[in-house]
Amino acid sequence: SLSPSTLKFSNSLSYPACKIEVPERLTVSHEALIKNGLADRCVSVPVREATDADILLVHSEEYLEAVKKTPYMTLEDLKEFTLQYGDVYFHPNIYHCAKLAAGAALQLVDSVMTGKVRNGMALVRPPGHHSMSSAANGFCVFNNVAIAAQYAKQKYGLKRVLIVDWDVHHGQGVQYCFEDDPSVLYFSWHRYEHQKFWPQLRESDYDSVGKEKGAGFNINVPWNKVGMKNSDYLSVFCHVLLPVAYEFCPDLVLVCAGFDSAIGDPEGEMCASPDIFAHLTHLLMNLAGGKLCAVLEGGYNLTSLPQSVCQTVQTLLGDPAPRPANLDGPCESALESLHCVRSAHRQYWSCLKHAGIAISTKRVKLAEEEERLEKGDEEKSQEEQVWPEPPKRVTPPIRAALVLPNGVACPDGCESFGASEDADPVIVNKLRYVAAASCLFVLPQGCSDASGFLQAVLGLLLPLGYEYDPSLVLLVRMPDSGVCDSVWQQLTGLLQGLAQGHTLVLMQEGEKERVAPTASALLGDAAPSLGQLHSPLPEDVEVLERLRHRLQGDWKLLQTTGETGE
Ligand code: Q9C
Ligand code: ZN
């Protein structure tokens, strides 16, 4: 699903400061989707204007009334109006476009919630996540995603909504909106540099965890350095976001999909490659039964933005993700942030209970300051950065094949190869070779309990798998493993992010009932959600943690803390 509302307003003439939030952001993204054959594979959802009632779900009446007047103001008055807010620019047409942007997000929520589409992305501008109840801010007029979350809760009676904000800026508007609300879990990572980076708010730091009933439902990951890479992003997903998200068990996932967190962006100055968004997207697609709505926020490099948009959309369409490149482990500063966030949240989430206690960051701040001075702040323009175009991704003509014993029916959508008698000897040989060469990972026996098992998958198996970067994932299901179908489907779904989705599942005789759920996961259906998880068993956690510690010398993506130690 895709809602391209090519919004026609350009502020750059009247406001030279706004030269990056330009209409071309949408046109190049849409053109790239067409060029890569992705637009044709999407259902186009018509946009509508958000109504006053929709907007008032988040914004104050006074603010809405003020914005309503902007189309009739003179340019002079508009500039005056603009001045009361921070980094936002009003064009006579922006009120109309802002209503369409919020409305597009709502149309997408409707399409996903009614099952018309499985998931989708709304390509909109102006963006939304900085706008507050009574204030425009940071190019944002109405808070598209916050409105969508309130709307989804109200219209569909959702109990829990997860908002993942991977834009490089802190969506303070979203944070303020849901700070005391435990029904909306807001996760944001953002360039922070110890509060030196815009919007320079104290409350963007890791210790803003939410208020009152909402304590624990606001997760901030501050990036205190620029140049964060794929490993830093994946490591935060594996060790913070995903464990908490699974424990939260959302009914719907909304993504503040800003791509200024990708390489080349003049605002973010990060170094993550566009294909990392394929993985971030994939890792969220088994939550909430696959119900995911991504809404464009920032992203200002007109080369990296369309690449990132295509990576996201192609993953939403179900195509296997590319092999993740250059995973050399998180940097020291990212580990620092990771550790602080996990510590700040350990009292709220049982999956983080064992996370080390807070270490003093003062010493580290000093060390960083020194390093910055040494470097002499060499400014290298992000727009001049070069990176390889992400390799073309394939859409396999057959997604899943099964080799079944006689008498077991082939589930719909799968290609069945006959049993042993007509199995191609070449294939059989290859399988043997692969089985001999691959590394077999055996999950601890005790983890038949869902939350312990999931903890092992997210905190150990996934990061290990990502760093190892296999060309095939061989999944062996032992009989009587005690793993229930939905946990098994989650595992199968998540692991398809590795090895370009090349997954071989071996099952044993007498597991006939497992064939259909396994086939469904291999076909890319979202795994059913696991329900709200209880605390993992202490003995399981202990085994896992010991294993993680033992392996983290060799496998950097297993680290959750800096050299300062736990
Ligand atoms: N005056 C989004 O990405 N930049 N908004 C401030 C110093 C404001 C970004 C630069 C950036 C707003 C949606
Ligand atoms: Zn941004």
| Closest residue by CA, ligand 1 atom 8 | 138
Quick one: pLDDT at residue 359? 45
Q: Which of 514, 490, 518 is nearest to 504 (CA)?
A: 518
| Closest residue by CA, ligand 1 atom 7 | 198
Ion ligand 2 neighbours (CB, 5 A) are 167, 169, 258, 260, 298
Taking CA atoms, 323 is separated from 68, 276, 458, 470, 492, in Å, by 48, 10, 18, 9, 17
**CA 86 to ligand 1 center in whole angstroms:** 9
Quick one: pLDDT at residue 369? 54
Task: Tell me which of 25, 89, 94, 139 to substitute to probe ligand 1's pocket, judged by most ligand atoms within 8 Å of the beta carbon.
Answer: 139
The answer, yes or no, to whether any atom of ligand 1 lies below 6 A from the CB of 297, is yes
Q: Give the ligand 1 atom nearest the CA of 298.
A: 3
566 residues of the chain, pLDDT tens digit each:
455 444 456 665 566 657 899 999 999 999 999 999 999 999 999 999 999 999 999 999 999 999 999 999 998 899 899 999 989 989 889 999 999 999 999 999 999 999 999 999 999 999 999 999 999 999 999 999 999 999 999 999 999 999 999 999 999 999 999 999 999 999 999 999 999 999 999 999 999 999 999 999 999 999 999 999 999 999 999 999 999 999 999 999 999 999 999 999 999 999 999 999 999 999 999 999 999 999 999 999 999 999 999 999 999 999 999 998 789 999 999 999 999 999 999 999 999 998 875 444 444 555 555 555 555 445 567 768 899 999 889 887 777 777 777 777 888 877 776 655 555 555 544 444 443 333 444 555 544 688 888 999 999 999 999 999 999 998 888 777 777 889 999 999 999 999 999 998 888 777 788 888 998 999 999 999 988 888 888 888 888 888 899 999 999 999 998 764 44
Task: Tell me which of 198, 300, 301 to substitute to probe ligand 1's pocket, judged by most ligand atoms within 8 Å of the beta carbon.
Answer: 198
ipTM for this prediction:
0.97
The answer, yes or no, to whether any atom of ligand 1 lies below 6 A from the CB of 171, is no
Quick one: pLDDT at residue 562? 79
**CA 474 to ligand 2 center in whole angstroms:** 39
Taking CA atoms, 238 is separated from 105, 279, 283, 416, 528, in Å, by 27, 11, 9, 35, 20
β pairing state of 119-123 and 2-4: parallel
Cα–Cα–Cα angle for 306, 393, 42, nearest 5°? 60
Task: Tell me which of 11, 18, 21, 304 to substitute to probe ligand 1's pocket, judged by most ligand atoms within 8 Å of the beta carbon.
Answer: 21
**CA 513 to ligand 1 center in whole angstroms:** 53
Quick one: pLDDT at residue 556? 95
129 classed as catalytic: no
